[in-house]
């Protein structure tokens, strides 16, 4: 069900999507952390420095001892109803019935899967890594599990873009399936979150960014099931489509000090 935003929510929605440089966004976060009741003095370590300077940090779920039941999540993601990411009218089909042309299918979680993923999200947001990044205990702004399916056409988020989902936020991607070069790896341009070009939301191809002087990666972020990517997706990034009938399942969280209006 679509809910109507209040006047204040509409103002906030516009404000967080203004073309504001990353440094100002981080400063606003620091001010919000200081005045909130959730302020935490951040630690200084290699992981935090890499997140702040490069924009992402890649590890595994063993790093935080998450104890993820991958088999449970994978089996439920295959059994539960799905909806098509780019056509919200196409809702309620099952994995076994996915038709050609469906690029991204999002899992409609039941109470059990919702509870499992809530527990993982709670451990993540209370980890020293994320608390240090925000200088506070953030909220889980949103979460999702989706399948990437073989498709001959790249669409929407599979082109380079910035996420402008909040004034300052961090995403965590967890691979639920093994991801190789043919299984839709994620791509990210390190340091681009600090760039002051292309601050508005739009899509780019490789040639667009190469002309602007970006070093566009040709190899995506692959890894076995349990690979975990902490990433500031205000930086330029994109998805990709699987090839040779492979599929990919991923669990995503977004963290921020206040929820996306």
Separation between Cα atoms, residue 148 and residue 77, nearest integer Å? 12
Q: Which two tokens stand for residue 132?
A: 């240090």
**pLDDT tens over the chain, length 261 residues:** 345 667 777 787 788 888 899 999 999 999 999 988 778 887 888 999 999 999 999 999 999 999 889 999 999 999 999 999 878 888 889 999 988 888 899 999 999 999 999 999 999 999 999 999 999 999 999 999 999 998 767 777 889 999 998 999 999 999 999 999 999 999 999 999 999 988 888 899 999 999 999 999 999 999 999 999 999 999 999 999 898 889 999 999 999 998 876
How far apart, in whole angstroms, are the C-alpha atoms of residue 64 and residue 95? 30
CA distance 234 to 199: 9
Note whether 156 and 86 are within 8 A (CB): yes
How many CB atoms within 10 Å of residue 152?
9
Please state the domain extents for the chain.
7-256
Q: What is the pLDDT of residue 3?
A: 53
With 0.95 as the threshold, say if the pTM is over it: no
Exposure pattern of 8-30 as b/e (b: 16+ CB <10 Å)? Answer: eeeebeeebbeebebeebbebbe
User: Beta-strand (E) ranges in the chain?
Assistant: 56-60, 82-84, 87-93, 104-107, 139-148, 169-175, 187-188, 227-231, 237-238, 248-256
Phi, psi of 223 (to 5 degrees): 165, 160
Which of the following CATH numbers is that of domain 7-256: 3.30.70.580, 2.60.120.620, 3.30.950.10, 3.40.50.10860? 2.60.120.620
Tokens of 251: 């669990």
Q: How many CB atoms lie within 10 A of CB 137?
A: 18
101: alpha, beta or left, given left = phi > 0 and alpha = psi -120 to 50?
Answer: left
Contact 189, 215 (CB under 8 A): yes
Which one, of 235, 239, 104, lies nearest residue 164 by Cα?
Answer: 235
Q: How far apart are CA 198 and CA 65, in angstroms?
A: 37
Are 260 and 12 a contacting pair, CB within 8 Å? no
Q: Which residues contact 102 (CB under 8 A, 6 or more apart)?
A: 84, 90, 149, 151
pLDDT at 5: 66
| Type and span of the H or E element at 125 | helix 111-125
Q: Which residue has the tokens 């516009």?
A: 14
The Cα–Cα gap between 67 and 257 comes to 26
């Amino acid at each position: 069900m679509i809910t109507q935003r209040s006047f204040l929510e509409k103002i906030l929605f516009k404000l967080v999507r203004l073309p504001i440089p990353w440094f100002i966004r981080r400063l606003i976060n620091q001010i919000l952390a200081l005045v909130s009741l959730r302020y935490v003095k951040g630690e200084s370590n290699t992981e935090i420095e890499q997140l702040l300077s490069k924009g992402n940090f890649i590890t595994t779920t063993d790093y935080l001892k998450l104890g993820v039941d991958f088999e449970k999540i994978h089996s439920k993601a295959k059994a539960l109803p799905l909806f098509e990411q780019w056509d919200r009218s196409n809702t309620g089909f099952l994995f076994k019935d996915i038709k050609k042309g469906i690029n991204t299918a999002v899992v409609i979680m039941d109470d059990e899967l919702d509870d499992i993923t809530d527990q993982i999200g709670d451990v993540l947001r209370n980890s020293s890594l994320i608390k240090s990044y925000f200088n506070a205990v953030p909220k889980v702004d949103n979460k999702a599990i989706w399948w990437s399916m073989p498709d001959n056409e790249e669409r929407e988020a599979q082109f380079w873009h910035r996420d402008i989902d909040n004034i300052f936020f961090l995403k965590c991607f967890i691979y639920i399936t093994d991801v190789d070069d043919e299984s839709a790896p994620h791509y990210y341009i390190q340091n681009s979150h600090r760039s002051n070009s292309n601050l508005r939301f739009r899509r780019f191809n490789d040639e667009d960014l190469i002309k602007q002087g970006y070093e566009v990666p040709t190899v995506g972020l692959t890894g076995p099931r349990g690979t975990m990517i902490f990433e500031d997706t205000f930086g330029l990034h994109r998805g990709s489509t699987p090839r040779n009938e492979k599929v990919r399942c991923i669990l995503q969280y977004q963290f921020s000090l206040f929820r996306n209006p």
